[in-house]
Amino acid sequence: DTAVSQTPKYLVTQMGNDKSIKCEQNLGHDTMYWYKQDSKKFLKIMFSYNNKELIINETVPNRFSPKSPDKAHLNLHINSLELGDSAVYFCASSQYRSPAFFGPGTRLTVL
Amino acid sequence: AQTVTQSQPEMSVQEAETVTLSCTYDTSESDYYLFWYKQPPSRQMILVIRQEAYKQQNATENRFSVNFQKAAKSFSLKISDSQLGDAAMYFCAYRSARETGTASKLTFGTGTRLQVTL
């Protein structure tokens, strides 16, 4: 039983394209996150939603738009992809006073 | 803002030996959580161990234990009886105990790559 799942796991696309990454959690958590891991393995928060409400938006270009249709899902849409967007994107979820659980990650490669 | 520092980019340990990974952090808060996450080559982020700042007792999970020094803002991870499967990137992370707004995010260190040799 997968706790946090993401699709796709790999995404290869051309510059200028628009792409989406989907995330679902079956842990019943109220809070979901998107983290970005760059080529040097550094992990940084991008967005967080709590019960479908955006609560964290960390100086991310507005080409990135998260959407949470319900508290179990958090999607990430990226417009006009750039070379610098190449990274691994992790979805995670947590509940009050619990650790965050991560999805398997989506490796995005922009050519 | 909180910061997390891992000063060892790479460490190596022989199988069955013990290794300690270092982590220091900076915060003005008194209540928070600290975590160690493991990232093997599969890239999955796996929670290894957690520590609540209000607990003086160091957390232990099987072969993994921490040395939490709150005054020194230090949170090291000790791996005993190292196994080949322990080879991975290890990330130290901080989270505020305030569960509102930006407080719920994890702040990560830069990671330590652990190599396990025969």
- pLDDT of B101 over the 70 cut: no
What pLDDT, on the 0 to 100 scale, is given for residue B102? 61
B103 vs A: CB within 8 A: no
DSSP-derived secondary structure for B23-55: -EEE-S-SSEEEEEEEE-TT---EEEEEEETT-
- pLDDT of A40 over the 80 cut: yes
> What confidence tens digit (pLDDT) does each residue in B65-84 have?
999 999 999 999 999 999 99
Residue in A29, A38, A43, A96 to test binding to B, most B beta-carbons within 10 Å:
A43
- pLDDT of A86 over the 90 cut: yes
Q: Nearest-CA distance from A88 to chain B in Å?
A: 9
Q: What's the rounded Cα separation, in Å, for the pair A21 and A18?
A: 11
What pLDDT, on the 0 to 100 scale, is given for residue A52? 83
Confidence of residue B54 (pLDDT cuts 50, 70, 90): very high
Local structure of residue B100 (DSSP, 8 states): S
Rounded percentage of chain B residues whose pLDDT exceeds 90: 90
The answer to whether the Cβ–Cβ distance between A55 and B97 falls below 8 Å is no
Rounded percentage of chain A residues whose pLDDT exceeds 70: 98
Confidence of residue B103 (pLDDT cuts 50, 70, 90): low
Chain B residues within an 8 Å CB radius of A92: 45, 106
Confidence of residue A15 (pLDDT cuts 50, 70, 90): very high
